[in-house]
Amino acid sequence: METLFLMARQRNREKDTVFEKEGIRAVYPPFWMKPHSDIFTAFTPDLLHQLHKGVFKDHLVKWCTEIIGRLEVDERFQQMPDHPGLRHLKNGISSVSQWTETERKEMEMVFLGLVAAGAHPELIQAVRALMDFASLASLQSHTLTTLLAIHTALNDFHAHKNIFIELGGRKEHFNIPKIHALEHYEPSIRLFGSADGFNTESPERLHINYAKNAYRASNRKDYIIQMTLWLQRQESVARFSAFREWMANPPPPINSTQPPTAVPSPPSTEPSADDADTLIHHTYSISKRPPAATRHVVASHIIAQEGHNAIRFLPALSKFLLTNFKSSYTPYAFDVFSTWKRLKFTLPNIAEVGHRHATNLVRVTAPVVPPGESRYRAIEPAHHDFALVKTAEVNEFTDGTALHGLRIAQVRVIFQLLRHYPVKSAQPLAYIEWLTPLRRPDELDGYYHVSRSTRKIAGKDGPYAEIITIDRIVRNAMLIPQKWDQDSKFRVNSHIDGHSFCMFKLNYKDCLPI
């Protein structure tokens, strides 16, 4: 009402410095004075600038860095475990001046696990709330459940945000426009649909086409006129090219006596030439033959630390042969096996995520070490990814949920049995080392906590190892150490991709290959 009063005074040609101070313009009557107008609904969520770059990168990362320390944050990013498709920030983040949108999102994927180690409980809860909010707001489809989760996550952040001031991360208030904008996400999604439909990330690339390329085509003097002319010419060329293509392929006359066009046949389901060397299972795909470099791997190398570090490979293989084939054949350390480097999955296209992160890899490679060097001087480090594996174990904590019948294991070797073995397996096998079963999510960070499972063999403790067929592996999993100086206890990162978030956090059961 005060603004309307000032606008009415200005309309009557009154003079007052408050007009310029308040930014009053000579537009009267304004459209937003109508009884059913709400100017705030005209501003839709902007995931790129408000959430990923604004709240996360410009505020949350800055606050946490002030609390934890710049060097400590850099060191934790350097020690972050490798994961397929995730950039490893080997130099930390303090030296990076310009971040891409992809890099900011990858920081978000691991940030809660990075902060949670030894942090104040309220700090963990505040960061968790914002990370959950970011993942929920980025979903492409929503239900009442996800909208309630957005509301709950934001309330949790407000309940714990003062910890940033108490620990010195922020000096005073939280009257920040981009944080206030988060209040409007839930009602905006209810009115207009998912926030990704208004995301400025989609047209962001046009800045290159319409601004950078146009500027480069100018002589850098009076460039706006030249850029405009260049764009007009680009449009003219595009239109004329479309016209020539249309003239080269004219449509048939309306009264043509030609027979109607045949209905196109459905696409062939036969494997293409590209698939000729790939074994495609209904849940995974793997090359039909192992790579040439790994077709003759001695079992002793599989067992050794310099190799796959599968220290219980031979006992596990003996047990597999006995249990599955009733064979008492004894494998030896001098046996030679063919091994694979990776296993590929295609995650289902769910409405909340779409095609993003549809390709899912489990890498299984030994370190590439120069002759005469130790494994610590490897040219290429080892990759032994964690994965979700089917199991028949009963687990009262996960039975009936999206995690029913699943347990996490580290995959160290994928191989096939030798020809001279008395038994044959219809598909490749995997040597895995189990982690403890999933229990309840942690109350602070919301992640499942697991540790390496052990078993005694001949009175000696060691990893709980097993050999399985690879169809029991369903997808990869990212684990973040609970403490950076140990490799035995982990947090299961549910923010690593949309499918993981929907499965672990929202209990969606259609996030895995069927």
Which residues of the chain carry a pLDDT beneath 50?
259-274
- 101 neighbors 200 (Cβ within 8 angstroms): no
pLDDT at 267: 45
DSSP state of 371: T
pLDDT at 299: 95
Share of the chain above pLDDT 70, in %: 93
* Pick from 498, 471, 496: nearest CA to 349: 498
Q: Which helix (H) or strand (E) holds 242?
A: helix 223-248
Q: Which amino acid is at 180?
A: H
Q: Which helix (H) or strand (E) holds 65?
A: helix 61-68
pLDDT at 22: 74
Distance CA(123)–CA(112), nearest Å, equals 10
DSSP state of 71: H
pLDDT at 271: 46
pLDDT at 183: 95
Distance CA(313)–CA(330), nearest Å, equals 12
pLDDT at 356: 66
